[in-house]
Amino acid sequence: MPSLLDLPNELLTEVAKHFPRVYSGMDARKHGVRSDQFEGIDTLRALSHTCRILRNVCRPVLWQHVQAVYNSRTRPQRRGLTRILERRMAGLLKKSASSVRPHICSLSISFIECSMTNWAWEPISGFLRALASLPNLRELTIVDAPENWWQMQHVFKAGWEGKVYPSVLSLGIPPELAPMLRCFPNVQTLMQCNEIHEEHAVGGSKTLFEQSRDLYRNVKAIQNLNLNRGWGVVQCIRENIPQVQSISVWDGFALEDLSILQTLPCLTELHIRYQPPPVQAGLYGHHRRSKYPPLDEIITAAERVLRAPRQGTGGR
């Protein structure tokens, strides 16, 4: 009787790749982490323990995306109970992990546990050494900067000085860490993670797009653009990343904010990550929806942005 193992390895690999991937970074903040995503990882891990064939198929898929961020499974019950970044990076640097490091294409981490009173250098040093050991890393997402970033700038500057990671093509970082862009010269997709608080901007950037223009020379796409800051952010993009062709934004913005994207000369793709507005309880038990722009109005405004005449584009 035919069984799963009768399928060629190529088909088994395609099946394994279709298991749900656990959200990380901004996707997790927006959508949450569903139970079936954990179930998909658990199933692949169980299959990889059954026989050598399925181990060889499932192991590369399991290690393709590595996370050192807090979610419903990893968040400690008490603050400070675990150091997930330090532990995960130490695991990647073990000699026994040498066979899985080449499979890692995507890494998501958070510096939220780092502080001047919590052995700040150990997790940062471990992360930098692990980063240098991943030859095929293509996507790096740093979800959070340290809470007391203004006290730790010298630690980060000393750690990142002179380091270059040419394999990374997609980078997501908070605005505080914008100077790190010089370590990733080949980035083509740039994502802003989180919104910086004004008090955290001391000595740093308020947006991700205020650095030297040369640092953005290969960037073609921007993800998670926050339009609530209005013209100032778009003006930075126009001056420093005029070649950007694709932009994605979250919903929750005013339609007039969307129109300012018309000034970008090379924009040809606009992705709006829309989520239906929440239902809120009103007076006397009635329910009403929040004042979000209707989806059809958002689509119309986006089409207007892409159809606007642009210098040198012929009005694409």
Give the list of residues 6+ apart from residue 38 with CB closer than 8 angstroms, or none: 22, 73
Integer Cα distance of 138 and 135 in angstroms? 9
Q: Say yes or no: 121 and 230 in one domain.
A: no
Is 115 a member of any domain? yes
Our count of domains for the chain comes to 3
Q: For residue 174, which amino acid is it?
A: P
Q: Are residues 84 and 151 in the same domain?
A: yes
Query: How many Cα atoms sit within 13 Å of 184 on the Cβ side?
Result: 26
Give yes or no: residues 29 and 68 share one domain: no
Asked whether residue 17 falls in the same domain as residue 97, the answer is no
CA-CA-CA-CA torsion sign (210, 270, 259, 225): negative
Choose the final residue of a domain: 131, 158, 193: 193
Residue 203 covered by a domain:
no
Does residue 70 sit in the same domain as residue 168? yes
- CA 257 from centre of chain: 23
In terms of domains, do 225 and 164 share one?
A: no
The answer to whether residues 248 and 316 belong to one domain is: yes
| Statement to judge: residues 96 and 10 lie in one domain | no
CB 167 within 8 A of CB 219: no
Q: Is residue 205 part of a domain?
A: no
- Choosing from 143, 158, 193, the residue where a domain stops is 193
Within a domain: 314: yes
Do residue 137 and residue 257 come from a single domain? no
For residue 87, tell me if it sits in a domain. yes
Whether residue 57 lies inside any domain: the answer is yes
What does the pLDDT profile of the chain (316 residues) look like in tens digits?
A: 677 787 888 887 887 777 655 545 455 444 444 445 566 677 788 888 888 888 888 888 888 888 887 765 555 545 554 578 888 899 999 999 999 999 999 998 888 777 666 556 778 888 999 999 999 999 999 888 877 777 777 778 888 888 999 999 999 988 888 888 999 999 999 988 865 444 444 344 457 888 888 999 999 999 888 887 667 888 889 999 999 999 988 766 778 888 889 989 999 999 887 776 665 555 555 444 455 678 888 889 899 999 988 755 443 3
d(CA 306, CA 316): 7
The angle at the Cα of 203, spanning 197 to 208, to the nearest 5 degrees, equals 60
pTM for this model (two decimals): 0.81
Range of the domain at 303: 220-316
Residues 78, 50 share a domain: no
The answer to whether residue 214 is domain-embedded is no
Q: Give the residue among 224, 218, 170, 168 at the shortest CA–CA distance from 195.
A: 224
How many C-beta atoms lie closer than 10 Å to residue 7's C-beta? Answer: 15
Q: What span, in angstroms and rounded, lies between the C-alpha atoms of 272 and 155?
A: 37
252, 308: one domain = yes
Q: Same domain, yes or no, for 56 and 74?
A: no
Query: Does the residue 268 lie in any domain?
Result: yes
Tokens in use for 141? 């997402």
Provide the angle, in degrees to the nearest 10, between the axes of the packed helices 9-17 and 52-62.
Answer: 40
